[in-house]
Amino acid sequence: MDLLHTLVPRADDAFARAAHHLMAAKMYSLASFVMIYYDMFLTFGQELDTIWLVPKYNIMTLLWALNRYVLPLGYIVIVVSFHMRWNDDVCNEYILYPEALKIVATAAIGVIFILRVRAIFGRDMWITGFAWILLAIELGLKIWAFTDGVRLDLPDEFVGCILVGRHHTRIAFTWIAELIFDTVIFALTLYKTLQIYHVQLAKRRPMSLFVLIIRDGIVYFGVIFAANLGNVLVFMLAEDDIKAINASFSTLITSLMVSRLILNLKTAGRPPEDGHASGVKVHVSRQVETDVVITIDERSQAILTLNGGEYLLHRISASPLVFLMHRILLALETGPRHNSILKFDTGRRGGKDEESTFGYEMPQLANSRYTIPRP
């Protein structure tokens, strides 16, 4: 009798621990899913300006769409599978879907970075060929690893169709292969960027774009390396029912970081006509007139300088000055109001200067100080 009472609590403890592990894996996956969509909403305006509202599309546009939309949309099915009670036949048919989706995402991201390395190395055929071979090896290892995947055998009381490996060492190679590819691409980027850095430093040339490349390369490498290394360690060391807990996060954070990297590089590389400085004069009642200087910083943000204060106005878009005018009014919205006219030069468009005038209720500018800090 004592033995029976000893075994029952132990069985209950194991059941409770398994339930806790399963819930943790589901919530972690759901949080990762929310993270990628939240970032998509945050950067949608910048995406429109730098990806879609451009004169023409190219191969990078297609790769962007694959990374930005195919993976997050495909992950809807994965999130649903974690919370549905599917029969064994349905789950067995589905179980390799997550890794098949990962193969597509890995191929798109790999091509993006090969094109990046190709551009940095001046289209060097040997470097580019080496990168292509490395990507092919990575994809081959991933296919070999994920074909070992099976569904996690859950008690009848639990729901979910979750991928694990029949042999845990083998399926871990899907992230080991990614670690190797990321490390080599980062090393190539770092090597070439340091070369360019020393050349520009000797010639005293500005290097903001290349500083951005090196900075974002380090951020990408650090975050993705940590996520994939965590995946390998979890698959090697954790209990069976929690081995896949970090898989969703590592996949989606890779997509997020690559999207951010592309947006930052495209924003930094935009031509001057997409972000020019404009002189603005604000005419108000009582014959008060002051000059307002609008400048565009390296992040394509419009900065208003007025009476020694700086104000973030609006990220430049397809029609920036429409938003610019509105943001000026918001920034100056203090003190008593007077009827006023806002005039500004839109810059050279169509070979001639154009001036636009708007009538608004604007605060008095005389004897006023504006101390809103620049973000």
What is the distance between the alpha carbons of residues 40 and 70, in angstroms, rounded to a whole number? 13
Same domain, yes or no, for 277 and 202? no
Whether the per-residue pLDDT at 105 is higher than 80: the answer is yes
Same domain, yes or no, for 182 and 44? yes
185 phi, psi to nearest 5 deg: -65, -40
Whether the per-residue pLDDT at 14 is higher than 80: the answer is no
Same domain, yes or no, for 238 and 303? no
Provide the number of structural domains found in the chain.
Answer: 2
What is the distance between the alpha carbons of residues 203 and 271, in angstroms, rounded to a whole number? 23
Same domain, yes or no, for 131 and 150? yes
34 or 89, higher pLDDT = 34
pLDDT 10s digits, 309-348: 444 443 333 344 444 444 454 454 444 333 333 333 333 3
What is the b/e burial string over 301-339, where b = at least 16 CB atoms within 10 angstroms of the residue's CB?
A: bbbbebeeebbbbbbbbeebbebbbebbbebbeeeeeee
159 phi, psi to nearest 5 deg: -120, 155
Whether the per-residue pLDDT at 256 is higher than 90: the answer is yes
Same domain, yes or no, for 265 and 349? no
Same domain, yes or no, for 33 and 161? yes
State the CB neighbour count (10 A cutoff) for residue 363.
Answer: 15
pLDDT for position 259: 92
pLDDT for position 347: 37
Would residue 375 count as lying in a domain?
A: no
Same domain, yes or no, for 35 and 87? yes
Q: How many residues does the chain have?
A: 375
Same domain, yes or no, for 211 and 115? yes
Per the structure, the complete domain to which residue 349 belongs is given by: 273-363
What is the 3 state secondary structure string of 16-83?
HHHHHHHHHHHHHHHHHHHHHHHHHHHCHHHHHHHHHCCCCCCHHHHHHHHHHHHHHHHHHHHHHHCC
Give the helix/strand (H/E) hosting 315.
strand 309-315
pLDDT for position 246: 86
294 - beta bridge partners? 278, 304
* 0.75 exceeded by pTM: no
Same domain, yes or no, for 284 and 254? no
Same domain, yes or no, for 359 and 226? no
Same domain, yes or no, for 105 and 233? yes
